[in-house]
Structure 1
């Protein structure tokens, strides 16, 4: 049987150091886990809701989805009666799309243009044809993101405040687009 060689002092020191490191890591891990458990066992007290006073609040009016759909359909139908293919968008008071309809045969650019006209009309609470005329005095208006200063958008108001915008695009002229947008808005007052 071959004789075993005794490990060198260096090997024994390294092996002992490694063993000590493993034991130390186990102790530290156990202590850390115990600390985490004690923290988790103490639930945080949830903050009570804070009630705002009436003087700190405003009320807003929004167009319903049914009303927006009715307005969009009326605008598309008005255009179809004239043999026009358009897209119609109705946005809420914040400019977020509620309904967008792309009429049969409407051009691909009309969808985005209708949304931008609606956004512009509700943002300024004015028909986009009027806003397009204002560009002569303030040409930088057209640089505002999401806007389109071409005729075809009309605001919808309640008690004088804008609650929605209707935009139409795709007819041969902005005047026609705006006429169809106004036809959509008109059904809301009935």
Structure 2
């Protein structure tokens, strides 16, 4: 059976209109009543973020820019290089997403992932990973949480007493050195 070009155009247009209207209907239905989880998150975040009166249900939060994250990573790497240490550095945002990772010349292959996990762990608990290691005595299953690494070398970055990022360093011969370099990265953001 042969279908004319005009029939194909009319049928295609009708189909496109139906899909568009269906999508619009789904969007407007979801926009008219926010999900309870979103409302609960907004209430929970009320103390940490400002509510925008013009946009009920939305909150503002502070995020580290890519430029600032790069500056922090470079400062940590430079501090390590001054002491002839071969490390990797990672900076993650408040949600644990990697913003910047720098692998120093000669850094071991394991250091890249370890730096990311240390940064993620520090921002997740808003505490240096050296302090979190001590918590394993009372809660040994903390180390089983995916994506975390409970070794010294990760520090949180805060703004207005809330975590906004984490800096992780891995590859030095001791966790104390890793953390020293991570602190140099975090300090670059304060100055």
TM > 0.5 fold call: yes
Structure 1 residue 118 corresponds to structure 2 residue 119: yes
Once the two structures are overlaid, the 10-residue window that deviates more, 44-53 or 64-73, is 44-53
CA distance in 1, matches of 2:14, 2:117: 54
Once the two structures are superposed, the pairs formed by residues 96-111 of structure 1 within 5 Å of their partners are: 96-111=97-112
CA distance in 2, matches of 1:38, 1:80: 66
In the TM superposition, structure 1's runs of 4+ consecutive aligned residues that sit over 6 Å from their partners are none
Which position in structure 2 is the counterpart of 1:21? none
CA distance in 2, matches of 1:38, 1:98: 47
Report deviation, 1:105.
Answer: 0.8
Q: Give CA deviations for 1:44-99 in whole Å, capped at 9, x if unaligned.
A: 33347537774412211110011000000000110111111110000111111110
Q: Which has the larger radius of gyration?
A: 1
Once the two structures are superposed, the pairs formed by residues 94-173 of structure 1 within 5 Å of their partners are: 94-173=95-174
CA distance in 1, matches of 2:55, 2:150: 38
2:172 match: secondary structure: coil
1:104 match: secondary structure: coil
TM-score, normalized by length of structure 1? 0.77
CA distance in 1, matches of 2:14, 2:105: 63
Which position in structure 2 is the counterpart of 1:41? 14
Report deviation, 1:159.
Answer: 1.0
CA distance in 2, matches of 1:66, 1:154: 19
Distance 1:172 1:58, change over 3 A: same
CA distance in 2, matches of 1:81, 1:124: 30
Listed as ranges, the gaps of 5+ residues in structure 1 are 1-25
Listed as ranges, the gaps of 5+ residues in structure 2 are 35-53
2:113 match: secondary structure: helix
